[in-house]
C-alpha cells in the first residue's frame, strides 16, 4: 500500500507489478519486444518514395507513347508523395521531427518533377506542330 497526503486527504493506492518468474525469461523478452514494436511501428510505416527513379524523356525527341508513359509515372509519383505527406502528418510529434524535413524535400522534388514534365510536354507539342507543317 502506498499512501499519499494531498490537500489534507490521505489517498491509498495499491501498486501492482507484473511478477516475472525466474522460470519464464521469455516473458520479459516478449514484453520488451511488444513495447518496442508499439513505439517504433508508426515511424517505420512512412517511407519516402524514390523520385530519382523517374526518367523524363526529352520532349523534342520523344515519341507520344514515351511521353504518355512518363506522364503516368509522374502522376503516380505525385500520388505516392501525397500519401507519404499524409502518413507523416499522422505521426506523433516525436516521430514527426525525424520525417518533416524528408516530407518537405519530397514535396519540393515533386514540384520540380512536375515542372520539368510540363516543360517537356510543351517541347513535345512544339515538335509535333513543327513536324506537321
d(CA 27, CA 17): 14
pLDDT score recorded for residue 49: 84
pTM of the full predicted structure?
0.58
Let me know: does 72 contact 54? Beta carbons within 8 Å.
Answer: no
d(CA 60, CA 127): 6
CA nearest neighbour of 57 among 124, 131, 106, 112: 124
Higher pLDDT, 39 or 50: 50
pLDDT score recorded for residue 43: 47
When the pLDDT of each residue in the chain is averaged and rounded to a whole number, the result is 74
pLDDT of 44 > 80? The answer is: no
Amino acid at each position: 500500500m502506498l499512501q499519499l497526503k494531498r490537500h489534507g486527504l490521505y489517498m491509498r493506492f495499491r501498486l501492482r507489478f507484473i511478477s516475472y518468474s525466474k522460470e519464464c525469461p521469455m516473458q520479459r523478452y516478449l514484453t520488451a519486444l511488444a513495447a518496442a514494436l508499439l513505439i517504433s511501428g508508426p515511424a517505420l510505416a512512412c517511407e519516402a518514395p524514390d523520385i530519382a527513379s523517374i526518367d523524363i524523356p526529352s520532349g523534342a525527341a520523344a515519341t507520344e507513347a514515351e511521353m504518355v508513359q512518363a506522364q503516368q509515372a509522374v502522376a503516380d509519383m505525385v500520388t505516392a508523395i501525397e500519401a507519404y505527406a499524409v502518413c507523416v502528418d499522422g505521426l506523433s510529434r516525436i516521430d514527426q521531427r525525424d520525417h518533416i524535413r524528408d516530407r518537405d524535400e519530397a514535396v519540393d522534388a515533386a514540384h520540380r518533377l512536375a515542372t520539368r514534365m510540363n516543360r517537356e510536354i510543351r517541347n513535345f507539342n512544339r515538335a509535333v506542330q513543327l513536324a506537321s507543317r
